[in-house]
Amino acid sequence: MLEQLKKINSAQFVGIMESLSDPIRINILELMMNGEICVCDIVKVTGLSQSKISYHIKILKDSGLISDRQEGRWVYYKLNLEVLSDIQNWMGNLIQSSKNKRNCK
């Protein structure tokens, strides 16, 4: 259990949670649930400007929640499943730890 907690420290977790604190970014992540997507497609679906989407993509990328790959002049973004799995494990460990340690009886 301690090994998993070492993958994400408290500061990283706070940064990740801050990046999830905006409905636009949540929407972008939901669009990526179907696979890779480029900014132009996100713009089409959301109706938001390219600059606004790029701003939110940068925050998601900096937090590690998404990754990218370039193909010619296009950049495609996708969910970073390793980081999402680490978050899931971190939260699961937190819940399990809380269940196992009771201060009052």
Span 67-100, pLDDT tens digits: 999 999 999 999 999 999 988 888 888 788 777 7
d(CA 80, CA 1): 22
b/e 54-81 (16+ beta carbons within 10 angstroms → b): eebbebbeebbbbbeeeeeeeebbebbe
DSSP 26-49: HHHHHHHTTS-EEHHHHHHHH---
pTM of the complete model: 0.82
Long-range contacts of 21-25 (CB under 8 A, 24+ apart): 22/56, 22/59, 24/48, 24/52, 24/56, 25/56, 25/59, 25/60
Domain covering 2-93 in this structure, CATH number: 1.10.10.10
* Number of residues written out for the chain: 105
Number of neighbouring beta carbons within 10 Å of residue 18:
12
| Contact status, residue 89 vs residue 81, Cβ threshold 8 Å | no
Span 5-61, pLDDT tens digits: 457 777 888 889 999 999 999 999 999 999 999 999 999 999 999 999 999 999 999
Q: Where are the domains of the chain?
A: 2-93
